[in-house]
Amino acid sequence: MIARRVVMAKGGGRPFVPDWVQQIETDYPGDRLCHSQSVDLRQLQLKGDRILIIGGGLTSGHLATGAISRGAKVTLMIKRRLQEKLFDAEPGWLGPKYLKGFTAESDWGRRWQLIQQARDGGSMTPEVGTRLRRERRNGNLTIQEECQVVRAGWNLGEWQIVCNDGTSYTCDRIGLATGTKVDVTTDPLFNQGMIAHPIPIVNGLPVLDEHLRWPGCELFIMGGLAALQVGPVARNLSGARMASDRIQPALTKASVRKSFPGLRYAGRCLT
Q: Which of 169, 172, 212, 219 is nearest to 194 (CA)?
A: 219
Give residue 1's pLDDT.
77
- What is the Cα–Cα distance from 124 to 133, expressed in whole angstroms? 12
Between CA 92 and CA 29 the distance in angstroms is 46
Measured CA to CA, the distance from residue 251 to residue 214 in angstroms comes to 14
Torsion of CA 2, 3, 9, 14, to 10 degrees: 30
Calpha distance 75→59 (Å, rounded): 14
In the sheet where 50-54 sits, what is the strand order? 33-35, 173-176, 50-54, 73-77, 141-144
Looking at residue 260, what is its pLDDT?
Answer: 46
Q: What pLDDT, on a 0 to 100 scale, did the predictor assign at position 187?
A: 87
pLDDT at 205: 95
- In this prediction the pTM is 0.82
- What's the pLDDT score for residue 255? 60
| Enclosing H/E stretch for 171 | strand 168-171
pLDDT digit string (tens) for the chain, length 271 residues: 788 899 998 766 789 999 999 999 999 999 999 999 998 888 888 999 999 999 999 999 999 999 999 999 999 999 999 989 887 788 899 889 999 999 999 999 999 999 999 987 788 999 999 999 999 999 999 999 999 999 999 999 999 999 999 999 999 999 999 988 889 998 888 888 888 999 999 999 999 999 999 999 999 999 999 999 999 999 888 999 999 999 999 998 766 666 444 333 333 333 2
